[in-house]
Structure 1
Amino acid sequence: MSHAAAQATIGDSEFDRDTTVVPRAGEPGVYDAELSAGWTIIAAVNGGYLLALVGRALSAALPHPDPFTVSAHYLSASVPGPAVIRTEVVRTGRTLSTGQASLLQFDENGAEVERIRVLASYGDLSALPDDVRTTAALPDIPAYEDCLAADAGPAPIPGSSEIVDRLRLRLDPATAGWALGKPSGKGEMRAWFELADGRDADPFSLLLAVDALPPTAFDLGLMGWTPTVELTTHIRRRPAPGPLRVSITTRNLAGGFLEEDAEVWDSADHLVAQSRQLARAPRTA
């Protein structure tokens, strides 16, 4: 496989710095953060990046370290700048703990505006048994070197802006026809995924990976912003080092909304994350 050697490490990378949360003195469960402009799509901050940021706050607030299931409702578009995350411990148990969190920003009058609300259960991925029984199959993606970089088309991914520079995406040519004006119409998107600085994946970057590819709406011939309404992610195991394979499909676009089902596989051929989201389709007029 031909790809650049790892440079950054987990805990010391742009992604880690940009998802840092700082406990607020005297206010237990409250964290301050700075939403980086480096993870924007058009003017809005990417939903997977926001999920990772809130995920870190919940990891700090709960007694278990790793996200198992994270469900988020996106209430308004987040923008680069200061944010506050307010967490609440709902329940703690021996193997799982559950919490909720809201990420808020501030309007022109300084009033808090809720951007995203999350309910999540956390555990310890290292403590899970090894038994796996699955009918899930590896996505059929060509070799890394036979896939297309995000800038391989005649123009950048529409609306991609800053986030593309922070990712190392290699798109399956079969799902990249939209970049040449020839979408397949199947509603599929597949790619190899890494962070651009070579940092290996961990549970928090998996929260980013499920929402970092171009939307399947592009493969349906609908170009433009596809904002997430709700996103639920299941983290199944800690990923092995190396690039990830991400496969996303949609089966139904109706009433201006579509669902996207994602699977993320690691370099050891393990299914490490799954998600489903509801998104608003790009406007055609």
Structure 2
Amino acid sequence: MDDDIYDIDTSSVPRGDGIRDLTLTDRWNTPLGKPNGGYILAAMLRGLGDEMAADDAMVGAVTYLASPETGAAELRTTTLRRGRRVQTGEAALWEGDRHIAQLLASFGARTGRSIELGTPPDLPAPDDCINPKDFPDAMPASTIFDRVDYRLGAAPGWALGQPSGDPTFELWQRLAGGREIDLPALAFLCDSYAPPVLEIGAAQSMTVQLTVHLHRRPEPGWIATRLTTRHVINGFHEEDCELWDEAGNLVAQSRQLAMLL
């Protein structure tokens, strides 16, 4: 059953006229007791791509409009353009009369040359890293941590009650049990770990807007993750994420706007 949880919880059923039914489960809840924003984005991206019968997702920009609850939801999709190389659509997530999130996304085939100027995180091998699940007292209570395997190069200061002052995290991630990571799952992994602002003493953070660029499907294995925040202004902050596969390929990156709580 565990191998199927991601597929079940991100799936949606077409009803006709671009509308799809889905269920947001409590298996991806954050410490705030709400469905994780990356999980919501993955379900929306997958549903929109299925409805459009589109190529691979390339970019998705989601704005969160209301606090989500677990339970039945509705995805209202619209195809905006079907170009030769890029297909674009939008999707609105509704729970009853509450508009929860709005997504604009583009899909396309992977062609053309690649030039990489960046470098992946310099992490020990996953087997040589810390498994935070070995220290449950330092893990905030949330079900999302049952859905993802994490490996840390060093214990984060915030988990020890001693924030480092540097809002930067580098770690390995993968879906629980090593399940294959598709492109919507990469979007989820951009928002699946604790926010780095915890290292400057923030209590918690909530995403307002999230844009992900999905560059390629990863090679099987772990995903090296770099998370950074450099600006906290008027109670809001940015968070940048890079995801690299074990072969050293940049597979996704994101930027989000979030508010301190």
Q: How far did 1:53 drift? A: 0.3
Q: Secondary structure at the match of 1:231?
A: strand
Q: Does 1:17 align with 2:8?
A: yes
Partner residue, 1:113: 98
Partner residue, 1:104: 94
Q: How far did 1:157 drift? A: 2.6
Using the size of structure 1 for normalisation, the TM-score is 0.87
Partner residue, 1:4: none
What pairs with 1:5-84 in structure 2 (closer than 5 Å)?
13-24=4-15, 27-41=16-30, 42-84=32-74
Partner residue, 1:109: none
Question: Within 2, Cα distance between the matches of 1:269 and 1:154?
Answer: 31
The match for 1:182 among 162, 182, 188 is 162
The match for 2:190 among 186, 210, 214 is 210
Partner residue, 2:124: 142
Code of the residue aligned with 1:167 in structure 2: it is V
Is the deviation greater in 46-55 or in 176-185?
176-185
Q: Secondary structure at the match of 1:91?
A: strand
Partner residue, 2:217: 238
Q: Does 1:279 align with 2:258?
A: yes
Question: Within 2, Cα distance between the matches of 1:32 and 1:103?
Answer: 10
Is the deviation greater in 67-76 or in 189-198?
189-198
Partner residue, 2:152: 171
Residue by residue, what CA displacement relative to the aligned partner does 1:38-66 show, whole Å, maximum 9, x if unpaired? 00013210000000000111111224231
Q: How far did 1:36 drift? A: 1.1
Is the deviation greater in 139-148 or in 231-240?
139-148
Question: How many residues align structurally?
Answer: 260
Residue by residue, what CA displacement relative to the aligned partner does 1:192-224 show, whole Å, maximum 9, x if unpaired? 111113202111110110000111111122123
Q: Secondary structure at the match of 1:45?
A: coil
Contact map agreement 1:153 1:180 (CA 8 A) in 2:
no
Contact map agreement 1:178 1:221 (CA 8 A) in 2:
yes
Question: Within 2, Cα distance between the matches of 1:219 and 1:148?
Answer: 18
Question: Within 1, Cα distance between the matches of 2:35 and 2:172?
Answer: 22
Contact map agreement 1:154 1:180 (CA 8 A) in 2:
no
Code of the residue aligned with 2:244 in structure 1: it is W
Partner residue, 1:162: 143
Is the deviation greater in 63-72 or in 236-245?
63-72
RMSD of aligned alpha carbons: 1.6
Question: Within 2, Cα distance between the matches of 1:183 and 1:171?
Answer: 16
Question: Within 2, Cα distance between the matches of 1:209 and 1:252?
Answer: 22
Contact map agreement 2:14 2:51 (CA 8 A) in 1:
no
Q: Secondary structure at the match of 2:221?
A: coil
Q: How far did 1:257 drift? A: 0.7
Contact map agreement 1:85 1:104 (CA 8 A) in 2:
yes
Residue by residue, what CA displacement relative to the aligned partner does 1:83-115 show, whole Å, maximum 9, x if unpaired? 000000111101111001111112xxxxx1011
Q: Secondary structure at the match of 1:132?
A: coil
Runs (5+) with no aligned partner, structure 2: none
Percent identical among aligned pairs is: 39
Question: Within 1, Cα distance between the matches of 2:132 and 2:60?
Answer: 28
Contact map agreement 1:71 1:118 (CA 8 A) in 2:
yes
Q: How far did 1:153 drift? A: 4.1
Runs (5+) with no aligned partner, structure 1: 1-6, 107-111
Q: Secondary structure at the match of 1:138?
A: coil
Q: Does 1:199 align with 2:179?
A: yes
- Gap change, CA 1:266 and 1:221, over 3 Å in 2: same
Code of the residue aligned with 1:40 in structure 2: it is N
Question: Within 1, Cα distance between the matches of 2:46 and 2:182?
Answer: 12
